[in-house]
Structure 1
Amino acid sequence: MKVEQKTKAIFYMLISALGFTLMSVAVKAIPGIPLFEKVFLRNLISCLVAGFLLIYQRRGFYVKKENRFPVFARSFLGFLGVIANFYAVERLLLADSNMLNKLSPITVSIFAVLFLKEKVDKQQVIGIIVSFIGALFVVKPSFSLSVLPSLAGLASVTFAGLAYTFVRYLNDKENPNIIVFYFSLMSVVCSAPLAIYNYVNPNPIQWIFLISIGLFACLAQFFMTYSYKNAPASEVAVYNYSGIPYGIILGYLLFNEVPDIYSLIGGIIIIVVAIYLYNHNKKRK
């Protein structure tokens, strides 16, 4: 692989992580807009873009019979993941929600072992356990309702892990735009009734943030796709963890949020384990 290609891939992944963080900023910046209204707009834009690409590529919208259940499962689990993620983002510090969100590669590894029979070694198992110890520092478990947003963040990465396991299964079986289209379409259809029921008419500023949620999510996914096209996932996935410092910096600058010492320890643990597993997986290959 050429150095220029890898440099491009790293740059695209850094931009992708920033895009997802800015999406979270937009979600958090309009607390007066109901959750499902945000979910609807986030997925409507992705649905339109993916649909346009399928028409442009003359690919069509047909899904092979044997792939229909995996596409449905990925779509529904992804929809649940977005709901839980937005709920957590609205109520947690931006940095904390970003830290928990970066556990999704770990949950993917767990479900890939359980359902796809992928192999893991002792070092990877230790890395997974230590990552969740880091998550406990962020969550700070307690027997009160104050822990619900953190549990939502963990639920989000669990649903995301299951959803991306189906994406991994569909890797060479379906066009990526088909997967994105049906995930977005299901999210639009399922969120529309609740978005309409609790509809709040946004003011012009709120409209800008609502549209930004969809645009940032779409751009982040686009840059992530191009990152993986220019280099193997094992070479660039670790750079997605740049979302943690992005969250800390933007949370402080925009919302005057400062993570406590436990969250910072948890974030450092998650990043260190990610770098360790990145180097370990490169040596394995």
Structure 2
Amino acid sequence: MPNRQKGAILMCASAFLFSAMQIPINMSGTSIPIMEQVFFRNIVTLFLSFILIKRSGGSLFGKKENQPLLFVRSLFGFLGLITQFYAVAHANQGDVSTLMKLSPFMITLWAAVFLKEKIKKIQIPALLIAFVGAAFVANPAFNSNLFPLFMAFLCAFFSSVSYTLLAYFKNKVDGMTIIMHFSTFCVLACIPFMIFDFAVPTLKELLMLILIGVFGGFGQIALTYAYRMAPAAEISIYNYSGIVFSIILGYIFLGEILNMTSVIGCSLVIIAALLTYIFSSRKSKTN
């Protein structure tokens, strides 16, 4: 199987796992502070990456010369999580979702400028189709307070820088090392906040927090390796598949209503992904 296809599958798997993560986040209620949720989101990943690296004999945190950019990747990834959690908790979900879906456009820009990736003819139209699909699903009114909307935009920005660096580290830093670095950074950054604002979870909430960590951990692994399989600008569009997964999982587990605009939006997202996949496959065979 070509690497581009592997990357598309991994990105879709990541989108599914992150969508599944939203279910226990929703079900854990509002009684668990954000930093505590982010801590559990990363502590499972930390232990998992530590075990896998030790078994393979790899490096836990990478070479000295890679530390500055690894730190930037971890910092921006952490800030992306914090702004995401804040925006989701303080603004209309449609507004937040639409603004955060600007990330693939930013990734395409960063990849062209800093990674010298060529923007293919199909990528911009496909991104626009997918974004319109996301807008149909989210049905934004943009009547939320300005600050949470700004946080959602910052989430898209931080995430785009973080994901572009994942592509940059291809053939430079092992994927599990990147994950270990990121999860360790997040866990250590959360501890000071948790000391002063820790909520003892109930048994149900503890189970939800563990599920957040499991889904988030495996989603992070799939995401990291997806960006090692194909160009960042090309692979990022498959992240829109999370919209489809979120609607299906929300309908099944949370009883959310499936309306016509959601169906139209999902269809547009699927069309955009198929256009990118078909064009990339044909281009790969031609080359």
The TM-score bracket by the shorter chain reads 0.7 to 0.9
Question: Could you report, residue by residue, the CA deviation over 1:138-186 in whole angstroms, capped at 9, with x for unpaired residues?
Answer: 36253542x7666544433332221111111111011111110111111
Contact map agreement 2:103 2:157 (CA 8 A) in 1? yes
Output the amino acid matched with 2:20. L
TM score, norm. by length of structure 1: 0.79
Alignment partners' CA distance in 1, 2:273 and 2:132 = 13
Which amino acid letter does the alignment assign opposite residue 140 of structure 1?
P
Question: Could you list the per-position Cα deviations for residues 180-214 of structure 1 after superposition, in whole angstroms to 9, with x for gaps in the alignment?
Answer: 01111111111222222221111111111011110
2:140 corresponds to which residue?
140
Whichever residue aligns with residue 209 of structure 1, its letter is M
2:19 corresponding residue in structure 1? 21
- How many residues are matched? 280
Task: Please list the CA deviations of residues 109-159 of structure 1 after superposition, one character each: whole Å capped at 9, or x if unmatched.
Answer: 2211122221113432333344444444436253542x7666544433332
Taking the aligned partners of 2:49 and 2:205, their CA distance within structure 1 comes to: 25
Unaligned runs of 5+ in 2: none
Q: How do residues 86-97 of structure 1 correspond to structure 2 at under 5 angstroms?
A: 86-90=85-89
Q: Cα gap change, 1:94/1:15 in structure 2, threshold over 3 Å: closer, same or farther?
A: farther
Mapped to 2, the partners of 1:179 and 1:47 lie a distance apart of: 11
Distance (whole Å) between structure 1 residues aligned to residue 124 and residue 87 of structure 2: 27
Matched letter for residue 21 of structure 1: S
Separation in structure 2 between the aligned mates of residue 17 and residue 118 of structure 1, nearest angstrom: 23
Q: Structure 1 residues 7 and 79 mapped into 2: Cα distance closer, same or farther (>3 Å)? A: closer
CA distance in 2, matches of 1:83, 1:53: 27
Task: Please report the TM-score for the alignment, with normalisation by the length of structure 2.
Answer: 0.79
State the Cα deviation string for residues 1-23 of structure 1 (Å, max 9, x = none).
39xx9999887666544322221
What does residue 245 of structure 2 align with?
A: 246
Q: Which residue of 2 aligns with 1:258?
A: 257
Name the counterpart of 1:108.
107
Q: Deviations over 1:204-236 (max 9, x none)?
A: 11111011110111233445667789xx54899
Distance in 2, matches of 1:127 and 1:66, equals: 37
Residues in 2 aligned to 1:107 and 1:275: alpha-carbon distance in whole angstroms: 21
CA RMSD after TM alignment: 3.6
Find the counterpart in structure 2 of residue 178 from structure 1.
177
For the pair 1:128 / 2:127, whether they are aligned, the reply is yes
Secondary structure at the counterpart of residue 200 of structure 1: coil
Going from structure 1 to structure 2, the CA distance change for 1:158 and 1:72 (only over 3 Å counts) comes to same
Aligned equivalents of 1:249, 1:96: Cα separation in 2: 20
Match of residue 77 from structure 2: 78
Q: Which moved more, 1:19-28 or 1:5-14?
A: 5-14
Is the CA contact (8 Å cut-off) linking 2:19 and 2:242 kept in structure 1?
yes
> Sequence identity of aligned pairs in percent?
33
Q: Is the 8 A contact 2:16 2:245 kept in 1?
A: yes
Gaps of 5+ in 1: none
